[in-house]
């Protein structure tokens, strides 16, 4: 049985924690879109000490010795970032080998000129800047769509790689210079290209055949989404989005598997909302409360360290994410962060230019002026951190959760009360209904 994990809000919902928790139940963990703009945190407690891993490109299953991890064709890979991540994991004692990390030969490469272009284009946008992670994500996907990108498979044929790199570097340099930037050093790029080829080639293979063949043999897939529904290039708050399909369709196109193979779909959602970068955020809190949530939830970007904007739970978005992705269930995270609050708001609709709606508008400008319509619930003001049994949650927390689930239109398969694996309430009966008999350690 396969399972997809999807972000429902603007990212950083805790996808890494949920994937890490589930990974021992699956044979293969697959990243299928995005790049190292993602930062997925995994906390493992060993001998009383927390070890923290932030995964950017490598699937969050990598710390489990039995997992095979796949970087699918829909991902954009910066070879430098990937090599650094591999080195970092090895330093922490995690084995990364051509056997447990497979890279799709169809995945496109992020090259240094993409990063330089990301910076130039953002600075030209001025006050309309997207607030990208400056990782070259947009420019790399642009080259993919313009049919001039280089792919991981190109790293397996060095003479042809060098030729393609040279042509692309010249083209990119003329654009960079035109935009007032500095050209990148072509000779350095060619030298780096040879080195990347040598180090990464053993991992590169046709993962489309691999995943379909393994699936046919009965091996199970855990599909790990990056970013989130509201950052999706089609369904998010365009143009304040990322450049890939982070909604469920991306799992098929980005892994090369048919829709029927995606299996169960679970959306990860915070008990409140956060956003990094620019763009509309109707329930954003600009006051001390927003700062308190940021401090308690440690809401700073796992990739860029930027403070995350914080606000109330938005049920309009939650319902939209359930609809667009066909979510079977939700994994609610960070309930513990709300423990101290006397009152908690839930956004149940928007008022846009005087008109009430319960739908996400297509236009970012309309979303920007949307005033949230709130329902207020009493807080529980008791600690929930670490609770792993639903019945032990304060009654008011149970009532809050029931209302969130009702408004979102999906049940909670997981309720997370802390960053660690065991700080999780799991509805095993609900998962069993979807054919997922989980062993959780
Ligand atoms: P991702 O990008 O969706 O994987 O999420 P990030 O790793 O960027 O951000 C989620 C952060 O919340 C990480 O620092 C996690 O360790 C932490 N986290 C996850 N679940 C919980 C939870 O239930 N409670 C608390 N307090 N922290 C959590
Ligand atoms: P995970 O997987 C939160 C945001 C950026 C910016 C916009 C476009 O950890 O949830 P990009 O660099 O992709 O062109 O930036 O998307 N963004 C994320 N925000 N979590 C992420 O990933 C993000 N990846 C991109 O902040 O607003
Ligand atoms: Mg993150």
**Of all atoms in ligand 1, which is nearest to the CA of residue 42?**
16
Identify the DSSP state of 128.
Answer: G
| Whether the CB of 121 sits within 6 Å of ligand 2 | no
Q: What is the pLDDT of residue 438?
A: 83
Superfamily of domain 3-102+206-433: Adenylosuccinate Synthetase, subunit A, domain 1 (3.40.440.10)
Indicate the domain borders of the chain: 3-102+206-433, 110-201
Q: What's the CATH architecture for 110-201?
A: Orthogonal Bundle (1.10)
Only one residue has tokens 């809401």, namely 299
Beta strands in 192-276 (DSSP E): 204-205, 221-224, 264-270, 273-275
Q: Tens of pLDDT along the chain (441 residues)?
A: 899 999 999 999 999 999 999 999 999 999 999 999 999 999 988 888 889 999 999 999 999 999 999 999 999 999 999 999 999 999 999 999 999 999 999 999 999 999 999 999 999 999 899 999 999 999 999 999 999 999 999 999 999 999 999 999 999 999 999 999 999 999 999 999 999 999 999 999 999 999 999 999 999 999 999 999 999 999 999 999 999 999 999 999 999 999 999 999 999 999 999 999 999 999 999 999 999 999 999 999 888 889 999 999 999 999 999 999 999 999 999 999 999 999 999 999 999 999 999 999 999 999 999 999 999 999 999 999 999 999 999 999 999 999 999 999 999 999 999 999 999 999 999 999 999 988 765
Catalytic residue flag (residue 434) = no
- Distance from Cα 161 to the centre of ligand 3, integer Å: 32
Write the pLDDT tens digit of every residue in 421-435. Answer: 999 999 999 999 999
CA–CA separation, 403 and 347 (whole Å): 11
Q: Among candidates 57, 59, 63, which has minimal Cα distance to 441? A: 63
The burial of 315, by beta-carbon neighbours within 10 Å (0-12 exposed, 13-18 middle, 19 or more buried), is given as buried
CB 111 within 8 A of CB 188: no
H or E element in which residue 403 lies: helix 395-408
Pocket, ligand 1, Cβ cutoff 6 A: 7, 11-17, 39-41, 43, 298, 302, 333-334, 336-337, 416-419
Q: Which residue owns the Cα nearest ligand 2 atom 16?
A: 242
Ligand 2 pocket: which of 55, 227, 235 to mutate (most atoms <8 Å of CB)? 227
| Whether the CB of 130 sits within 6 Å of ligand 2 | yes
Axis-axis angle for helices 395-408, 315-325 (nearest 10) = 50
Q: Which residue owns the Cα nearest ligand 2 atom 15?
A: 132
Catalytic residue flag (residue 286) = no
- Distance from Cα 268 to the centre of ligand 3, integer Å: 12
Q: Based on DSSP, count helices (H) and strands (E) in the chain, helices before strands.
A: 13, 20
Q: Give Cβ neighbours of residue 288 (< 8 Å, ≥ 6 apart).
A: none
Identify the DSSP state of 180.
Answer: T
- Distance from Cα 20 to the centre of ligand 2, integer Å: 20
Q: Among candidates 340, 342, 321, which has minimal Cα distance to 404? A: 321
Secondary structure class of 297 (helix, strand, coil): coil
């Amino acid at each position: 049985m396969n399972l997809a994990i999807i972000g429902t809000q603007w990212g950083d919902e805790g996808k890494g924690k949920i994937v890490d928790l589930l990974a021992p139940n699956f044979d293969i963990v697959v990243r299928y879109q995005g790049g190292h703009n993602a930062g997925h945190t995994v906390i493992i407690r060993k001998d009383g000490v927390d070890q923290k891993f932030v995964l950017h490109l490598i699937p969050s299953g990598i710390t489990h010795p039995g997992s095979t991890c796949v970087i699918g064709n829909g991902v954009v890979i910066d070879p430098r970032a990937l090599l650094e991540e591999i080195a970092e994991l090895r330093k922490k004692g995690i084995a990364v080998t051509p056997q447990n990390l497979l890279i799709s030969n169809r995945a496109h490469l992020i090259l240094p000129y993409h990063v330089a272009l990301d910076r130039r284009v953002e600075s030209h946008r001025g006050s309309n800047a997207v607030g990208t992670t400056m990782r070259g994500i947009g420019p790399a996907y642009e080259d993919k769509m313009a049919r001039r990108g280089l792919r991981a498979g190109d790293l397996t044929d060095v003479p042809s790689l060098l030729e393609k790199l040279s042509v692309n570097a010249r083209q990119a340099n003329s654009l960079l210079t035109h935009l007032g930037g500095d050209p990148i050093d072509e000779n350095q790029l060619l030298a780096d290209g040879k080195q990347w080829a040598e180090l990464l080639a053993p991992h590169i293979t046709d993962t489309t055949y691999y995943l379909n063949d393994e699936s046919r043999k009965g091996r199970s897939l855990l599909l790990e989404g990056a970013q989130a529904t509201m950052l999706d290039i089609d369904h998010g708050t365009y143009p304040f989005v990322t450049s890939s399909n982070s909604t469920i369709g991306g799992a098929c196109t980005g892994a090369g598997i048919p829709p029927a193979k995606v299996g169960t779909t679970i959306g990860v959602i915070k008990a409140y909302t956060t956003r990094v970068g620019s763009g509309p955020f109707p329930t954003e809190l600009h006051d001390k409360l927003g700062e308190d949530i940021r401090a308690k939830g440690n809401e700073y970007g796992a990739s860029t360290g930027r403070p995350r904007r914080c606000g109330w739970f938005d049920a309009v978005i939650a319902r939209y994410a359930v609809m667009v992705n066909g979510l079977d269930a939700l994994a609610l995270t960070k309930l513990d962060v709300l423990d101290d609050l006397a009152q908690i708001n839930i956004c149940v609709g928007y008022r846009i230019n005087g008109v009430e709606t319960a739908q996400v508008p297509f236009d970012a400008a309309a979303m920007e002026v949307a005033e949230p319509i709130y329902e207020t619930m009493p807080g529980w003001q008791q600690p929930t951190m670490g609770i792993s049994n639903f019945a032990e949650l304060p009654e008011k927390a149970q009532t809050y959760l029931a209302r969130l689930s009702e408004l979102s239109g999906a049940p909670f398969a997981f309720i997370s009360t802390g960053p660690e694996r065991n700080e999780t309430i799991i509805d095993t009966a609900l998962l069993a209904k979807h054919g997922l008999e989980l062993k959780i350690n």
